[in-house]
A and B are shown apart, each in its own frame.
Chain A
Amino acid sequence: MTTQVTTPNEVLPPPTERYTILGWLHKNLFSDWFNSILSIIAGAFVFVIVRGLLRWLFVTAQWAAINDNISLYMKGQYPGAEDWRLWLLIYLAVLLTGLMWGVFMRRTSAITWVLMMMPLILGGWVFALGKPSWWLVALLDIVGIAGYLLAKRFPQTSKRLTVTLLLLYMPLVILVIRGFGETGFLPRVGTNLWGGLLLSLLLAIIGIVFSFPIGVLLALGRQSKMPALKTLSIIYIEVIRGVPLITLLFMGQVMLPFFLPAGLTIDRVIRAVVAIIMFAAAYMAENVRGGLQSIPQGQFEAADAIGLSGMQKMVHIILPQALRTVIPVLVGQFIGLFKDTSLVALVGLLDLLGIARGILANPSYIGRQLEVFAFIALIYWIFSYAMSYAARRLEISLGVGER
């Protein structure tokens, strides 16, 4: 943050200020008596915190509760023999990221970040699945870069490939993770075995993907001139946004079985997913509406002028522009949703938080709350921060603010 991009026209500050440590200290920490006092207090604060943190990290903390259960945190009870499925999906995700970056991004300044960090983060996760195989993680980077180069080399083919893959990826994830049939190539893995970070990420991704079409429809409904549709959309959006997610999850667990005819039971994970999708759709609708409102009136009029029907106008003119402007906001919503999935632990699912509570209930890890919660907070933090950073880069790259 302290580095500044300077253009030749800009007047550079005198060298004394820029280069001497004392000058920097004087300017940034001790410019007047008030700032000096602030700096000293803040410095003491930082010192105490860092010292306590280091002492805890290296002396007091006992990491057995983490080390012994690392694969539980990462994938719950998902059978170890089926790990290759998760590997496959992660490789595909990295390839897709590389392709997308090559196809959609015009500027390449952030390329190193995405190609290095994303696979590394995912790789760290994979690494934690139980089999320490660094070459598989290294291979992830190679796949990502290959995707990027492929997209740069064959733009047209890659674009089609990317879009197809994007559309197919979500169903593929569910299919591969769940599997089908009792025996054979992909034996079924029940949702009761899904857990840990795997479940948290799945809930967030499924939530955002499936709420997207519903959200777009709701946003269009809210903007439409038809009074009945408009009222229904507004009621749905405002009701869902007005209640806490936990009441929806609770409703999904307790009430959903009542709504269906007797004898039809639904899996608990699916019930949570339904609640999350319902919840996310309302917020999605508001985000998309923001995008729709940012489209100047002239675009609508121009579409009318060249004789497009209402449907054509939306599909070809308005939505592509509106969705483009909301992409960074959607990443923000995804982060929020990822954090919110921790609430499913309160209705008894074993997501990352649920698993952590389960492990703490084990008598041999009694009193290890600090270590366990710090660990899962770190995992949530890394994913959320990486995504919000990516969103910021994306915003710059898409030039959203510049229109």
Chain B
Amino acid sequence: MATNTRKGSTVPFWRDERYLQAIAQVIVVGGIAALGWWLIRNLLTGLESLGTPLNFRFLGQTAQFDIGESMISYTRNSPYVRAILVGLLNTIKVSSVGILFATLFGVIIGVARLSSNWLVNRLAAAYVELLRNIPLLVFLIFLSSTVFHKLPLVAEAASIGKWAFLTNRGIYVTWVHKAAGWSTYQWVLLAGLLISVVMSVLLIRQGRRTGRMPLWFLWALLSFIGVAVVGWFIIPATPLVPDIPTLQGRNFQGGISLTPEFMAIFSGLVIYTAAFIAEVVRAGIQAVSKGQREAAAALGLSNFMTLRLVVFPQAMRVIIPPLTSQYLNLTKNSSLAIAVGYPDLFAVGGTIVNQSGRAVEIILITMGVYLSFSLLTSLFMNWYNRHTQLVER
């Protein structure tokens, strides 16, 4: 386009596309900059007149409020910045556990959606259609107010085989705690890990050389489990003992306790996102053309080998990008925790705004955190896409 304007000097500059484009850009950028300057000046003068000029020094002041649950030590005398960190960790906790379970659940539903069994197929479809068409927030509030806060009182807790107890104060699940043998046992585990890493490296190398990739991950996992089991019986003292929750006084002690707030946001996110993940998985598997399966059958591959070597690798290429965006959605949706009382980043931020009146700073921090999550994810996505892109010949 630009070639004819370069040599012919007959076109006056006001009709030269390059000048016009440059002028248009200067006008647009100038306009936006002016608008931004006007808005920010209003903001700064407004904040100044309220006596809370824009700065982040207030983060060092003591928070003066309690947070329901925290993964690090926190008291009401901790500074605001610590409260934000607590919220951030809670967000990361619910998102990461949520992503794990939503994936598991979503893949099961997605596969069930493709089942040849009519009933299973219809059930999965009903699940997906039901959840995809109601708002997450309605679902979350529904779960929190009709399920997790309506569980029985602590004194009359519903128990699942004496291993888990459901109460309206939370859910208590049996876990393990370290016993005398743990200090020796952790070395056993480390050794097992080393062996499995070495093994997988060797297997992958062998696979590269021969062109027949063995199931290296399975072998590594098996060898790790084998070492762990053998080590358990060799060590004289028991390394881990079960920690069963028991009713002591007014509450349960021992095991893992999950608050009703955490359970509401966690199960809500998992159940809801699983419906979307199921659709992604189904679409991915269906995207692999029938000819591929037929070709695999013609080569004499078994059903399992067809899935592992032909369908799955191709489906993954289709599945991963939308799957990542579902993960991102789950993380962003965890900000709805405020509706069920779980102290995530956004909820803690809201409390700080009410307490200190520093709305602008807190919003900036919150948005910055979510934005960096999504930027990290898109960096990963770009890397992944480059990595798995079909090499077109």
Contacts and interface: CB of A to CB of B under 8 A. Distances in A.
A268 to B, nearest CB: 15
Contact of A255 (B133, B346, B363): B363
A281 to B, nearest CB: 15
Contacts of A304: 1
Given A226-B21, A261-B42, A380-B135, A246 B130 contact: no
Interface in B23-45: 24-26, 28-29, 32, 39-40, 42-43, 45
Contact of B134 (A247, A370, A384): A384
B259 interface: no
Nearest to A242: B374
Contacts of B26: 228
Contacts of B28: 228-229, 232
Given A242-B374, A261-B42, A342 B117 contact: no
A380 B138 contact: yes
B119 A29 contact: yes
B359 A242 contact: no
Contacts, number: 156
Interface stretch (A9-17, A37-45, A105-113, A121-129): A37-45
Given A46-B123, A247-B367, A377 B25 contact: no
Interface in A231-247: 232, 238-239, 241-244, 246-247
Contacts of A246: 335-336, 338, 346
B204 interface: no
Interface in A201-235: 225-229, 232
Given A29-B118, A246-B338, A388-B133, A376 B138 contact: yes
A373 B363 contact: no
A385 B129 contact: yes
B108 interface: no
A31 interface: yes
Interface residues of A, number: 57
Interface stretch (B139-147, B225-233, B242-250): B139-147
Contacts of B135: 339-340, 342, 353, 380
B359 A255 contact: yes
Interface string B358-380: 01100100110011011100100
A288 B65 CA distance: 46
B277 to A, nearest CB: 16
Contact of B42 (A243, A250, A259, A388): A259
Given A226-B25, A247-B346, A373-B142, A258 B137 contact: no
A260 B115 CA distance: 57
A138 interface: no
Contacts of B117: 28-29, 31, 35, 38-39, 42
B46 A228 contact: no
A293 to B, nearest CB: 15
A373 B370 contact: no
Contact of A241 (B120, B133, B353, B374): B374
B145 A243 contact: no
B370 A339 contact: no
Contact of A369 (B145, B373, B375): B145
A64 interface: no
Contacts of A258: 42-43, 46-47, 360
A121 to B, nearest CB: 13
Nearest to B123: A42
A254 interface: yes
A259 B130 CA distance: 41
A365 to B, nearest CB: 13
A38 B118 CA distance: 10
Contacts of A57: none
A343 B137 contact: yes
B339 interface: yes
A28 B133 contact: no
Contacts of A92: none
A373 B150 CA distance: 15
Nearest to A227: B25
A66 interface: no
B332 interface: yes
Interface in A338-383: 339-340, 342-343, 345-346, 353, 357, 369-370, 373-374, 376-377, 380-381
Interface in B85-132: 115-120, 123, 125, 129-130, 132
Interface string B285-315: 0000000000000000000000000000000
Contacts of A369: 142, 145-146
A340 B145 CA distance: 20
B141 A228 contact: no
B3 interface: no
Contact of B360 (A226, A241, A255, A346): A255
B49 interface: yes
B351 interface: no
Interface string B9-23: 000000000000100
A254 B364 CA distance: 12
A35 B120 CA distance: 9
B136 interface: yes
Given A232-B28, A232-B29, A260-B42, A377 B137 contact: no
Interface string A302-333: 00100000000000000000000000000000
Given A262-B49, A388-B133, A342 B21 contact: no
B78 interface: no
A103 interface: no
A251 interface: yes
A374 B145 CA distance: 12
A243 B370 contact: yes
Interface of A: 1-2, 28-29, 31, 35, 38-39, 42-43, 45-46, 225-229, 232, 238-239, 241-244, 246-247, 250-251, 254-255, 257-262, 304, 335, 339-340, 342-343, 345-346, 353, 357, 369-370, 373-374, 376-377, 380-381, 384-385, 388
Given A335-B133, A377-B139, 13 more contacts: A1-B125, A2-B118, A28-B118, A45-B123, A246-B346, A260-B42, A339-B133, A346-B338, A353-B138, A369-B146, A373-B138, A377-B142, A381-B130
19 contacts: A29-B117, A31-B117, A38-B117, A39-B119, A42-B120, A229-B24, A238-B378, A243-B370, A244-B333, A247-B335, A247-B346, A251-B367, A258-B43, A262-B45, A339-B133, A339-B136, A345-B137, A374-B142, A381-B130
Interface of B: 1, 21, 24-26, 28-29, 32, 39-40, 42-43, 45-47, 49, 115-120, 123, 125, 129-130, 132-139, 141-142, 145-146, 332-333, 335-336, 338-339, 346, 350, 353, 359-360, 363, 366-367, 370-371, 373-375, 378
